[in-house]
Structure 1
């Protein structure tokens, strides 16, 4: 039975994280320094050391995920710990500061840490939400299989259109060649469909039209179907309508699949670079502390 990384080993790391938070809060409440609480007291140094070690260990998840032969626990266990101890880090680091903030490298390190934790939570939501949605959307198919099915539909449609007047073959061929979904990262995230199609108008003039979600080609075929008085022609046009409707459904699934994958990857393009920025700020924070100790 599949077990979510949040439920790993009976939420082991949730309880470890909570225990760490409770100990840190109790120590902070018990501690009575002569000066206002800050990172320069013995408790501040202790919490700071724990926080720094947590940051380094949490960063190691990226290495562990790519070490396929590693025996240092399962990837699922590491991810579970990454989530819960990352949340605990927010409490530990905040108490380490003694709620003393300013325009300095110390606060910069804290802000970057909060940003990394926040983006990590966004990633958790993505990984809990999208895999199931992706599986449902794909219906057991890969994206390559869906693309191949579209190609097969186009071939069938072209064969049928070859037995109809020339505007039909031109329309089906244009629809195939001018399908344009996705593109830039923003277009993928917005599920943009910039498809076009060349269609013959009532006056016989062929014009290029926007064709998002295959609407233009389906509307055109619908009009041709309505005006058809020949039984054989009606049957063939009806087949084209059904093929283009199936094509529209597949295109929607492909666009949604690309969008789901893009959202899963997007947060990493933020989370990972800011994590490295955090490591740099952490080094600067520690070095400056020891220089002015």
Structure 2
């Protein structure tokens, strides 16, 4: 069996000792040197031979980077593993910002060329948010789940609901509806704002827990032990619901980012096509 190297366990940001960061930096330096050493009259712009060169490099980078969504569906090892591809996607995407800016010659206006540049900048900036999300959120999700799958956590909620009904048997009759409501109306998910917040102020389990903690202060000795038992089960369920809602929050943040980043990537490709067509049509 082949031995795995330390790089095999590094993050996608540090893949192969920051190989793609170094490549991206070299591309940016070479582009900048060529930009400043080449003399243009009257001004530098995307319509010069060097502007066309940088524009071609930028366009190819955009198309290549857009393939990552398709690449994620294929799992391979080696130089073009998903980790390697993601590392290249990040650092070459950041390098694209420099290449494309030099391509414009810092000439902007109210036209399709500037529009395509603006969309590109937005996609890259949203990509920076994605870097943070994918570097931090998966680890937080793993810690939060504590080796439990989402389905396992939901099954545990169902078990606790059954336990609530059984534990409620010794309680007074006026306490039973509170427990039944907590067991039968568990709310998870909901609106996008509720999923992102990771909270539910209408949670019947939390309300039942608050209710019985208040009742514990005034209940008689005969009911004290049954109330403590129901509080114990409610606390377990409430803690588990908190973990599930946090899990849903993390998943929702990733999904929202994808719903923004991917459509704007397609918009960038469309704007890029319009930019290229208009350049050759009007020139």
Give TM class, smaller chain.
over 0.9
Matched residue, 1:249 = 239
Structure 1 position 272, deviation (Å): 0.6
8 Å contact from structure 1 (residues 134, 257) kept in 2: yes
* Aligned match of 1:206: none
CA distance in 1, matches of 2:55, 2:152: 52
User: CA offset at residue 72 of structure 1?
Assistant: 7.7
Q: How many residues align?
A: 276
Q: 2:22 — aligned with what?
A: 15
Pair 19,286 (structure 1): closer, same or farther in 2 beyond 3 Å: same
Change (3 A) 1:252 1:196: closer
CA distance in 2: counterparts of 1:146 and 1:265, whole angstroms: 21
Q: Which runs of 5+ in 2 are unaligned?
A: 1-5
Contact 1:112/1:278, CA 8 A, preserved across alignment: yes
TM-score by length of 2: 0.92
DSSP 3-state at the match of 1:166: coil
Stretches (4+) displaced over 6 A:
69-72
Task: State the partner residue of 2:125.
Answer: 118
Deviation at 1:70, TM superposition (A): 9.3
**Which residue number corresponds to residue 263 of structure 1?**
253
Is the 2:72–2:82 contact (alpha carbons within 8 Å) kept by the matching residues of 1?
Answer: yes
Q: Deviations over 1:24-83 (max 9, x none)?
A: 000111011112100011110000000001001101111211234698811111100000
Cα separation, 1, equivalents of 2:125 and 2:183:
43
Residue of structure 2 equivalent to 1:234: 224
TM-score by length of 1: 0.89
Match of 2:74 in 1: 67
Give the corresponding residue for 2:262.
272
CA contact (8 A) 1:218 1:244 kept: yes
Q: Quote how far apart the aligned CAs of 1:194 are.
A: 4.5
- Decide whether the 8 Å contact of 1:182 with 1:192 is kept in 2: no
Contact 2:164-2:183 within 8 A present in 1 as well: no
1:289 and 2:261 matched:
no
Report the Cα distance in structure 2 between the residues aligned to 1:262 and 1:223, rounded to whole angstroms: 35
1:191 aligns with 2:181: no
Q: Can you list the C-alpha shifts for 1:169-215, whole angstroms capped at 9, x where unaligned?
A: 21111112233232122221122415355xxxxxxxxxxxxx7xx0x
Instruction: Give 2:3's aligned residue.
Output: none
Any idea what SS the aligned residue of 1:264 has? helix
